[in-house]
Amino acid sequence: MILENLSIKKIFKSNYFTYTILFSVLTLIFSFISYFYQDFNNIAFFIYVILFAVISYKDLKSGMLIVLAELIIGSKGYILFFEYSGFQISLRIAFFVIIFSIWISKLLIYIINNKLKNGQPCLATTINYFSFRKSRFFKYYFIFFIILLFAFILGILNGNGFSDAFFDMNGFLFLLYLLPFYDLFNNEDDYYKILSIFIASTSVLMLFTLFSLWIFSHINPFYLSNLY
């Protein structure tokens, strides 16, 4: 059984725990500053995206751990975003595009190498690459996304704009992360990393929520409009 003898000390002493605390706190601070300065928001967004792309390219597993932290602290995903002439792209969507661009690129390279070296059919090579396919939940997962895709198409056919239909659907797209997740995380050390990220980011979010509660219950409402 994975993590049968769970070591709490190992979680809290992990570098991943410390880095996640720093990442979460800095991101929340940058998000607050960006509310007042749109140029700062755009600059911070591109810095995060570039650093994330570099980290994910070097180690896709680390990129997935950053995604986990952002999913927890990032609310709707717009904790940082790029905006130009009314067009917005959230940090969450940028992370999603980067992760799947790198993962699919690695998959294609894997397929090509196996085709050239071993002469395996492309379809067979692809199927072997998706470890989540072996999960007993895969068939339900597949059916769910078929229904989601059908609902998306139906929404457009019923006169809703592409943007409206997409942003209704994209709240479920994070479940696609299960595909690279199953390929990347498969041993005890990996699960300790996940627990470290989860506990650290959840702790920051909890403390931030309690701090906000204290602020809103003790400060004159006149000064709270910007904070809100």
DSSP at 142: H
Alpha carbon separation from 129 to 49, 139, 173, 206 (Å, rounded)? 27, 17, 21, 38
What's the distance, CA 201 to chain centroid? Answer: 13
Q: Specify the amino acid at residue 11.
A: I
Are 16 and 197 within 8 A, CB to CB?
yes
Q: What is the pLDDT of residue 161?
A: 80
* Beta-strand relationship, 81-84 and 87-90: antiparallel
Q: Are 191 and 185 in contact (CB under 8 A)?
A: yes
In the prediction, which pLDDT does 87 show?
Answer: 81
- Which backbone phi and psi does 88 adopt, to 5 degrees? -125, 140
Measured CA to CA, the distance from residue 214 to residue 38 in angstroms comes to: 28
pLDDT confidence of residue 101: 95
Q: What is the largest CA-CA distance in the chain?
A: 72
pLDDT at position 207: 94
Per-residue model confidence (pLDDT) at position 170 = 82
pLDDT at 1: 46
The tokens of 4 are what? 């049968």
pTM, entire model? 0.86
* Domain coordinates in residue numbering, the chain: 9-129+188-223, 132-186
Q: What pLDDT does 2 receive?
A: 52
DSSP helix/strand/coil, 88: strand
Q: How many CA atoms lie within 13 A of 225 on its CB side?
A: 1
pLDDT of amino acid 110: 79
pLDDT of residue 121: 57
Give CA–CA dist 64/67, Å, rounded. Answer: 5
Helix (H) / strand (E) element for 90: namely strand 87-90
Q: Quick one: pLDDT at residue 226?
A: 63
Q: What is the pLDDT along the chain (228 residues), one digit of tens a residue?
A: 455 566 777 888 889 999 999 999 999 999 989 988 889 999 999 999 999 999 999 999 999 999 999 999 988 888 999 988 878 899 999 999 999 999 999 888 877 777 666 665 555 455 556 778 888 888 999 999 999 999 899 988 888 888 888 878 888 888 999 999 988 888 888 889 999 999 999 999 999 999 888 887 777 776 666 666
Quote the tokens at residue 78. Answer: 């717009």
- 15, burial (CB in 10 Å: exposed 0-12, middle 13-18, buried 19+): exposed
